[in-house]
Structure 1
Amino acid sequence: MTTRLRPPAPQDPGPDSRIVYMDGAFGLFHAGHVEILRLAQGLGDFLLVGIHTDQTIRVWTHNCGN
C-alpha cells in the first residue's frame, strides 16, 4: 500500500508556475541530500519530491551487480 502525503501549500501552482520534480533514494538522509533538495527548490516555484521504495532500490542494486 502506498501512502501519499501532501502538506498544504501556501498556494496552488498556477498555469505559469515552474514545478520541479526530483526523485531519489534517501535511506540515510544526510547533508548532501539537503543541499541537492535546496538546489532543486531554487530551480522553480514548487518542488515535488518522489521517494523510491526499499523494494525498488533492492532491484536496482541487484541489476547493477552490487
Structure 2
Amino acid sequence: MSYMDNWHKSSYSGPGDGNECVEIATSTTHVAVRDSKAPARATLTFPPEAFGHFLEGVKSDAGR
C-alpha cells in the first residue's frame, strides 16, 4: 500500500471546525500532507526526519 491510500485526518478536525484541516499519510520513506478541503491539489512530501523538524517549527510558532 502506498501512502496515497493511507490518508488520516487530525483528531482535532470535527463538525465544529467544518471538517477542514490537513490530512497526513505515511510510508516507510515519506510523510505527505494535503489540505482536506482540496485533496486533489498540491501535496507536500517530506522525508520522515524533515517532517519531524517541520512539526517542531509549527509547534514553536503556535505559542507566539
TM over 0.5: no
TM-score by length of 2: 0.29
TM-score by length of 1: 0.28
Q: Which structure ranks higher in relative contact order (CA pairs < 8 Å, sequence separation ≥ 6)?
A: 1
- Structure with higher Rg: it is 1
